């Protein structure tokens, strides 16, 4: 099956052998985003609300590049450094969706890349 690589210049370039997102078989599969500010190249780790907002803005940039929106998202995976952060992350996350929420899982993991507190990946449907 052919696949289309999605690469936004509004999101930091991948640091390994992976793509920001791939479209295949009517779905967009986006790699996990962390709170890199693409303008500065620095991580936004001021507080968990700011960190989560940057993650969601990075996801939005990938969706925009694919000409999609959060309404197209059907599944998310949230990885947290500590489940105590869940309520604050959920508060920011929820502000990006208005209805027909995607399926989701939230996991606490031992360590995330660059010792961030939150990483989120998504799957979106291309054709609604």
pTM score: 0.95
CA separation for the pair 72, 105 (Å, rounded): 17
Query: What pLDDT, on a 0 to 100 scale, did the predictor assign at position 16?
Result: 86
Report the C-alpha gap between 100 and 58 in whole angstroms. 21
Tokens 């001021």 found at? 46
Q: What distance in Å separates the CA atoms of residue 93 and residue 118, rounded to the nearest whole number? A: 11
Q: How many domains is the chain partitioned into structurally?
A: 1
Q: What is the pLDDT of residues 24-62, one digit of tens each?
A: 999 999 999 999 999 998 999 999 999 999 999 999 999
Domain that holds residue 72: 4-125
Q: DSSP label at 70? A: G
**Residue 104's pLDDT band (cuts 50, 70, 90):** very high
**CATH number, residue 115:** 3.30.1330.40
Which of 38, 72, 67 is closest to 55 using CA atoms?
38
């Amino acid at each position: 099956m052919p696949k289309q690589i999605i690469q936004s210049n509004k999101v930091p370039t991948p640091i390994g052998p992976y793509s920001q997102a791939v479209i295949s078989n009517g779905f967009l599969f986006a790699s996990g985003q962390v709170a890199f500010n693409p303008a500065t190249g620095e991580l936004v780790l001021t507080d968990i609300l700011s960190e989560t907002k940057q993650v969601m803005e990075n996801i939005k940039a990938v969706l925009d590049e694919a000409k999609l929106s959060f309404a197209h998202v059907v599944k998310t995976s949230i990885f947290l450094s500590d489940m105590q952060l869940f309520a604050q992350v959920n508060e920011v996350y929820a502000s990006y969706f208005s209805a027909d929420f995607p399926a989701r899982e939230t996991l606490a993991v031992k360590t995330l890349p660059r010792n961030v507190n939150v990483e989120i990946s998504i799957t979106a449907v291309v054709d609604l």
